[in-house]
Amino acid sequence: MQSVASAPGKAILFGEHAVVFGKPAIAFAVDKRATITIKKGNINNTNITTFESPILNLKAELDLIEGNIKLIKGHSGIVNYVLEAVLKRHDGSPIDIILDMEMPIGAGLGSSAAVAVATLAALENYHKRDIFVSKIAKMAHEIEIKVQGSASPLDTTISAFGGIIYLSENSEVISLKSDLEDSIVIGYTSSRGNTGEMVAGVIKRRDSNPKIMDLVIDSIGKITNEAKSLLNLNQLSNENMEALGELMNINHGLLDAIGVNTLELSDMVYIARKAGAIGSKITGAGGGGSMIALCTGDGNHVLAELRKKENAIKADFSKEGIIIHK
């Protein structure tokens, strides 16, 4: 018996960090996936799960009695999400887990959420349980909180459901109509941000300056709501695209204000605008990681200019969230 499930990464268009304070956010699934394969393991290995990811150069054993990771090769970061999923949804029978990954880790593309969602989905399928997407999204969010200390449900929701999603102030998931195909470029800086640390830093700055920081966080929420109306249109006119780009630029300025920008990200944001992007901003936690540019046309010029500085990809939009591979 073999079970294979995958889940996509994501890019946040609006509302990162503010979402941790209960504000809305908009994100879309990108066609870069985490794929988990579960196979029956060695019969003598009860309560031990083996884990391997050749592409990430990772190998480990998960001890389900002690709830810990014995690392054989690589860094344990992403393995923690797999361990927590196994502790939540597995009965301890011997299994081998293999992770394949199409996205970089810690680049702001929701790699940890995708791994948590894919592992849970593969486990549900392995145990022949029905797949309830919202239940998997909820469990994956609990895993992110356990591993990172704090996390909004945004990354796990978008990874489980796919598409382009507005997460409301009450964590209601609303699919938006727009199709962003071919107009998004994502640039990665070489330094990686740590989501948990970045979120903690913003919370700390908010607590020491609540009167000012709350206004900034509220404004980010308002920007997201403006963007929602535009992204709910079936077809975006040039004027709508310009308006969306403008909202991204304002959102970027506010992310700078809450302290998650870096020199490299800033450079890339402005390189993209100079190369013709109609809007650009940090995407995800910041402090390193990625930026996103909205482009009219194919975005190739923006892509080429960003690549002169750092790495960049076209972020094709994915309608699909969890996939169970037959």
- Contact positions vs ligand MEV (CB under 6 A): 12, 16-17, 19-20, 108, 110, 151-152, 154-155, 195, 199, 284-285
Cα 38 to Cα 15, 49, 116, distances in angstroms: 35, 10, 14
Provide the sign of the torsion angle of the four alpha carbons 151, 155, 159, 161, taken in this order: positive
Minimum CB distance to ligand MEV smaller for 198 or for 250? 198
Minimum CB distance to ligand MEV smaller for 38 or for 151? 151
Q: Least separation, in Å, of the C-beta of 280 and ligand MEV?
A: 17
Within 13 Å, how many C-alpha atoms sit on residue 257's CB side? Answer: 18
Minimum CB distance to ligand MEV smaller for 24 or for 245? 24
CB 160 within 8 A of CB 7: yes
Q: Least separation, in Å, of the C-beta of 295 and ligand MEV?
A: 22
Minimum CB distance to ligand MEV smaller for 110 or for 299? 110
Sequence-distant (≥ 6) Cβ neighbours of residue 51 within 8 angstroms? 58, 59, 60, 61, 62, 79, 82, 96, 97, 98, 99
Provide the sign of the torsion angle of the four alpha carbons 55, 59, 63, 69, taken in this order: negative
Among this protein's residues, is 155 annotated catalytic?
yes
Within 13 Å, how many C-alpha atoms sit on residue 93's CB side? Answer: 9
Residue 304: CB atoms within 10 Å = 12
Q: Least separation, in Å, of the C-beta of 155 and ligand MEV?
A: 5
* Strand extents, DSSP E, 141-267: 164-167, 173-175, 184-188
Rounded CA separation 146/116 (Å): 12
Nearest 10 degrees: Cα torsion 56, 139, 85, 201: 50
Q: State both tokens at 114.
A: 């995708």
CB 78 within 8 A of CB 112: yes
Q: Least separation, in Å, of the C-beta of 204 and ligand MEV?
A: 14
CB 34 within 8 A of CB 101: yes
Q: Least separation, in Å, of the C-beta of 188 and ligand MEV?
A: 14
Catalytic residue among 155, 182, 214, 316: 155
Q: Least separation, in Å, of the C-beta of 171 and ligand MEV?
A: 11
Please identify the residue of the shown chain whose CB is closest to the bound ligand MEV. Answer: 152
Minimum CB distance to ligand MEV smaller for 110 or for 279? 110
Minimum CB distance to ligand MEV smaller for 136 or for 199? 199
Rounded CA separation 165/17 (Å): 16
Enzyme catalytic residues: 155
